[in-house]
Amino acid sequence: MPFLGQDWRSPGWRWVKTEDGWKRCEPFSPAREDGNNQLNDISHAVILTGDDEEEEIYSTEDCEFAAKKRKKDHFRNNTDSQCFYREKWIYVHKESTRERHGYCTLGEAFNRLDFSSAIQDIRRFNYVVKLLQLIAKSQLTSLSGAAQKNYFNILDKIVRKVMEDQYNPRLIKDLLQDLSSTLCILIRGVGKSVLVGNINIWICRLETILLWQQQLKNLQMNKQVNNGLTLSDLPLHMLNNILYRFSDGWDIITLGQVTPTLYMLSEDRQLWKKLCQYHFAEKQFCRHLIPSEKGHIDWKLMYFALQKYYPIKEQYGDTLHFCRHCSILFWK
């Protein structure tokens, strides 16, 4: 048969020879096969031949409609599926062309790239959580319905991972706080005019977020039973050296809440001065001097003030990469 198809890059139509001639069937892609026989049975046009030689040939349009509906119901009912795709890279279409109508949206990239496995990698975990936080702040309404559902499925896996491994709960608390604030504004302000789906679904999702926040608030760190030396048994100079190894001010404050001795060491002016000099140039903190009541420079307040004026560049172990030459977005 001659090549016929909607796109010159497509495999073309599938044809079946009958007594009346060649009949076109829906193209079947083996890549979409997931082991479900229900999807396979509906993928082809059905041709039934009776004993009285009367043929009943279903139209291609009916077969296409039934196949799309069956696939949609399969994905909707499959609650175990956290991600529709598990691809390591996608091609980013920035504009429409003659061969392809439309472009790659944020929701499409979020659905197709393998974020479900990325959160299991300790080098990618913080990056994925930060990406979800940025989406929660400004891009949540731009996601499609499937992408929004996938967003909360991945968020559920992140919360469960934090509850089990107790890894970086503060980062997840900030994400849930930003997400709950955004949903409160959208539900009360504009409602379903920008949210995909029933407004009651979003109210249930907001209640789930509040439940997650309560669980993280009540999270108790597992106490390790060890008869050897503890952190409190170390000499003062070793504890002081440990505090000087931190590069984040919030980590110093958190460690200072463990014991009164660590709190005293975490309030050292010289410690916060070194931290300011590490992250900021001298010209920067000279413009924003904050004197204390005794006339000295309050380096602790200075550090957090400078963070607002000059945000610290975040660093991650592994991130998504974009190749400008071939327009590929991929995990390295």
Together in a domain, 322 and 260: no
For residue 22, list its beta bridge partners: 17
Please, what is the average pLDDT of the chain?
75
Phi, psi of 74 (to 5 degrees): -65, -45
Q: What is the pLDDT of residue 103?
A: 63
Domain-located, residue 304 = yes
In SS3 terms, 73-103 reads as HHHHHCCCCCCCCCECEEECCCCCCCCCCCC
CB-CB contact of 106 with 142 (8 Å): yes
8/13 Cα distance (integer angstroms)? 11
**Which alpha helices (H) appear in 120-221, and where do they start and end?**
122-134, 145-165, 169-185, 199-217
Query: Do 303 and 242 lie in a common domain?
Result: no
Q: What is the pLDDT of residue 226?
A: 63
**Local confidence pLDDT in tens for the 332 residues of the chain:** 444 545 555 556 677 888 778 877 754 444 444 444 443 443 333 333 344 443 333 344 444 554 555 445 444 544 444 444 567 777 777 666 666 655 677 888 888 888 888 888 888 888 899 999 999 998 888 888 888 889 999 999 999 999 888 888 888 999 999 999 988 888 876 555 667 777 888 888 999 999 999 999 888 766 665 666 778 888 899 999 999 998 889 889 988 988 899 999 999 989 999 998 888 888 887 777 777 667 678 888 888 888 888 887 777 778 888 888 887 888 87
Last residue of some domain: 218, 250, 285? 218
* Tens-place pLDDT, residues 27-56: 444 444 444 444 344 333 333 334 444 333
Do the Cβ atoms of 309 and 284 come closer than 8 Å?
Answer: yes
Q: Work out how many domains the chain is built from and give that number.
A: 3
Q: By the 8 A CB rule, do 129 and 175 touch?
A: yes
For 332, half-sphere exposure in the C-beta direction (CA atoms, 13 angstrom radius) is: 10
Q: Is residue 60 part of a domain?
A: no
User: Between the CA of residue 71 and those of 27, 75, 243, what are the distances in Å?
Assistant: 15, 6, 55
The answer to whether 19 and 49 are in contact (CB under 8 A) is: no
Phi and psi, residue 328, nearest 5°: -115, 130
239-289: pLDDT as tens digits: 999 999 988 898 899 889 888 999 999 999 899 999 988 888 888 877 777
Domain span at 213: 89-218
Evaluate whether residue 312 is within a structural domain. Answer: yes
93, 163: one domain: yes
- Let me know whether 102 and 214 are in one domain: yes
How many angstroms separate the Cα of 157 from the Cα of each of 5, 129, 319? 41, 11, 19
**Tokens standing for residue 160:** 């469960």
Same domain, 98 and 202: yes
Q: What is the pTM of this model?
A: 0.59
255 and 214 fall within a common domain? no
Residue 313's pLDDT is 76
